[in-house]
C-alpha cells in the first residue's frame, strides 16, 4: 500500500447543546460572510466610490439569501434533479447537505442586480467589489468540505494522499485543499495584486472578469483530481459536471475583461 497521510479526525460538529448543533460547515458560511462583510466595508471606502457603508451593511442579507437559495437550487437542478423531482419536499431539507457553488454564484449575481437597481448603484462597480471578497468565502467553504471528509479526490499514490472515511480504503487526492488554495488563497492574492497595483477598479467589470476567469480555470483544473459525483460520473467527452458548469464562467469572464479594457 502506498504511503499516505492520516486524515485528521475532526468532528464535523463543533458545539452541541441538546437540540442545538453548530457544525464547522455552517460556521464556514457564517465566518466567510462576516469576514467578507468587514473587508467589503474597507474596500467601499476606496475610489472610485461605488457603495456607501449603509449599502454594504444592507447587502449582507441579500448576499446571504443569494448564497443559500441559489446554492441549494443549483444543487437540485445541476446535480440531482431526478432525485428531487421524485421527492420535492426534500429540497428544503438543507441540513442533509447539498450546495452548489455555481448555483450560489447565480444567486448572488441575481442579488447584486436587484440590489444595485434598487439603490441606483453602478452594477459592474458593485460586481468588482464582490469579486474581491468572494474568494474568502470559497476558502472557508473548501476547508469545511475537508473537515467533513466530503468532495474528496480521485484515487492516487502521491505522498500526500489520504484515506477519507467516506472514500473507501483507497488513498485519494485531498482535492478540497487544492480548491481552498487555488480558488480561495491564490485567486484572492491575484485579485488583490491587480486591484492594488493597476487601479483596475476604474475600469468597471475588469475584476469580476478576472474572478470568473480565474475560478473557471482553477475549478476545471482541480476537477481532474476530484472524484466526480457517484450518481453523475463522467459526462460529455469525459468531462465532469463541475467542468461543464465552469466553461460559461470562463467565457463570461473573458468577455468582461475584454469589454473593460475597451471601455474608456
CA distance 213 to 190: 12
Tens digits of pLDDT across the chain (264 residues): 456 778 887 877 777 777 777 788 888 889 999 999 999 999 999 888 999 999 999 999 999 999 999 999 988 888 888 888 888 887 877 666 678 889 999 999 999 999 999 999 999 999 999 999 999 999 999 999 999 888 999 999 999 999 998 888 999 999 999 999 999 999 999 999 999 999 899 999 999 999 999 999 999 999 999 999 877 888 888 899 999 999 999 999 999 999 999 987
| pLDDT (0 to 100) of residue 108 | 96
pLDDT, position 133: 96
The Cα–Cα gap between 220 and 242 comes to 7
User: Do residues 220 and 182 make contact, with C-beta atoms less than 8 angstroms apart?
Assistant: no
Q: For position 47, what pLDDT does the model report?
A: 86
d(CA 132, CA 190): 9
In angstroms, the CA 151 to CA 75 distance is 14
What pLDDT score was predicted for residue 15? 77
pTM exceeds 0.85 for this model = yes
Partner residues linked to 6 by β-bridges: none
pLDDT given for residue 95 in this prediction: 62
Q: What is the DSSP string of the chain?
A: ----BPPP---SEEEEETTEEEEHHHHHHHHHHHHHHHHHHHHHTSSS----HHHHHHHHHHHHHHHHHHHHHHHHHHH-HHHHHH-GGGGG-GGG----HHHHHHHHHHHHHHHHHHHT--HHHHHHHHHHHHHHHHHHHHHHHHHHT-S-B-B---TT-B--TTS-SS-B--HHHHHIIIIIIIHHHHHHHHHHHH-GGGSTTHHHHHHHHHHHHHHHHHTTTBPPPTTT---GGG--HHHHHHHHHHHHHHHHHHHHHH--
∠ Cα 2 181 199 (to 5°): 160
| Cα–Cα dist 137/89, whole Å | 28
Give the pLDDT confidence score for residue 96 in this predicted structure.
66
Cα–Cα distance for residue pair 256/239, rounded to 1 Å: 25
d(CA 44, CA 132): 11
Amino acid at each position: 500500500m502506498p504511503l499516505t497521510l492520516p486524515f485528521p479526525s475532526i468532528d464535523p460538529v463543533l458545539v452541541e447543546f441538546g437540540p442545538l448543533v453548530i457544525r464547522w460547515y455552517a460556521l464556514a458560511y457564517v465566518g466567510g460572510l462576516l469576514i467578507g462583510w468587514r473587508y467589503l466595508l474597507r474596500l467601499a471606502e476606496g475610489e472610485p466610490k461605488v457603495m456607501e457603508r449603509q449599502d454594504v451593511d444592507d447587502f449582507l442579507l441579500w448576499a446571504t439569501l443569494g448564497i443559500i437559495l441559489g446554492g441549494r437550487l443549483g444543487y437540485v437542478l445541476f446535480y440531482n434533479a431526478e432525485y428531487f423531482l421524485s421527492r420535492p419536499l426534500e429540497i428544503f431539507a438543507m441540513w442533509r447537505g447539498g450546495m452548489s457553488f455555481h448555483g450560489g454564484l447565480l444567486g448572488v449575481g441575481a442579488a447584486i442586480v436587484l440590489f444595485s437597481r434598487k439603490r441606483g448603484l453602478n452594477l459592474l462597480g458593485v460586481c468588482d467589489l464582490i469579486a474581491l471578497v468572494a474568494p474568502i468565502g470559497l476558502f472557508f467553504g473548501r476547508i469545511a468540505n475537508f473537515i467533513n471528509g466530503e468532495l474528496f479526490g480521485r484515487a492516487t499514490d502521491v505522498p500526500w494522499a489520504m484515506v477519507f472515511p467516506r472514500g473507501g480504503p483507497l488513498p485519494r487526492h485531498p482535492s478540497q485543499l487544492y480548491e481552498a488554495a487555488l480558488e480561495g488563497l491564490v485567486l484572492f492574492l491575484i485579485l488583490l495584486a491587480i486591484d492594488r497595483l493597476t487601479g483596475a477598479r476604474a475600469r468597471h467589470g475588469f475584476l469580476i472578469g478576472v474572478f470568473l476567469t480565474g475560478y473557471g480555470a482553477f475549478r476545471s483544473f482541480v476537477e481532474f483530481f476530484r472524484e466526480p459525483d457517484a450518481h453523475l460520473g463522467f459526462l460529455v467527452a469525459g468531462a465532469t459536471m463541475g467542468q461543464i458548469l465552469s466553461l460559461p464562467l470562463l467565457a463570461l469572464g473573458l468577455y468582461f475583461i475584454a469589454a473593460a479594457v475597451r471601455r474608456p
